[in-house]
Structure 1
C-alpha cells in the first residue's frame, strides 16, 4: 500500500518559531524525507535479496517481491508527480 506523507507544520524549524514557512520549503523537505526513506527501503530490499536465507524460503521470496513492487510503484508515482509539478512551474514561469 502506498502511504502519502503529509506536510505538517512541524516540518520546518521556522514553523516551530511561529515564523512563516514558504510552501516550497515544506515541499522540498517533505520530498527530501521521502527520498531518504525510499533509499533505506531500497537498501533493505537489496540486503534481503542478497541473503541466502531469503533465497531458500519461497514465502520470504514472495514477501521480497511484494516489497519490490511497492517500492517501484512509490518511486514511479513520485517521479511522475515531480515531473508534472516541474512542467506546471515551467508553464507559469513562461507565461
Structure 2
C-alpha cells in the first residue's frame, strides 16, 4: 500500500533542526531530489500489475499522482512569478 501523507506534512517549516535558517539552494535541492524520487515511485507503481488489478491500490496511486502533479504545478508557478519579479526589478 502507498504511504500518502498530506502536503503540509511533506513541507518543512523552513528552519533546520537547530533553529538556523536553511539556504534557499538547499530547499531547491531537496525539492528536486524529492520530485525525482516521487516520479520514479509513481512510474514504478504505474507499471506494477498488482496496482492496476486492485481498485484500492489504483485509487491510492491516482490520489498520489494528483498530489504530485499539483505540487509540481504550484512550484513551477511560484518559480515563474519569482523569476518575473526579479527580472522586473533588474530592468528598472
Shorter-chain TM-score tier? 0.7 to 0.9
Question: Looking at CA atoms only, which structure, 1 or 2, has the larger radius of gyration?
Answer: 1
Conserved? CA contact 1:5–1:30, under 8 Å: no
Higher-RCO chain (CA-CA 8 Å, sequence separation at least 6):
2
Instruction: Quote the residue 2:3 is aligned against.
Output: none
User: 2: distance between equivalents of 1:6 and 1:86?
Assistant: 23
Instruction: Quote the residue 1:7 is aligned against.
Output: 14
Query: What is the 5 A alignment of 1:71-86?
Result: 71-86=68-83
How many pairs were matched up? 83
Structure 1 segments (4+ residues) deviating >4 Å: none
> What TM-score do the two structures reach when normalised by structure 2?
0.80
Deviates more, 1:29-38 or 1:59-68: 29-38
Gaps of 5+ in 1: 16-20
Gaps of 5+ in 2: 1-5
> What TM-score do the two structures reach when normalised by structure 1?
0.77
Query: What is the 5 A alignment of 1:34-73?
Result: 34-73=31-70
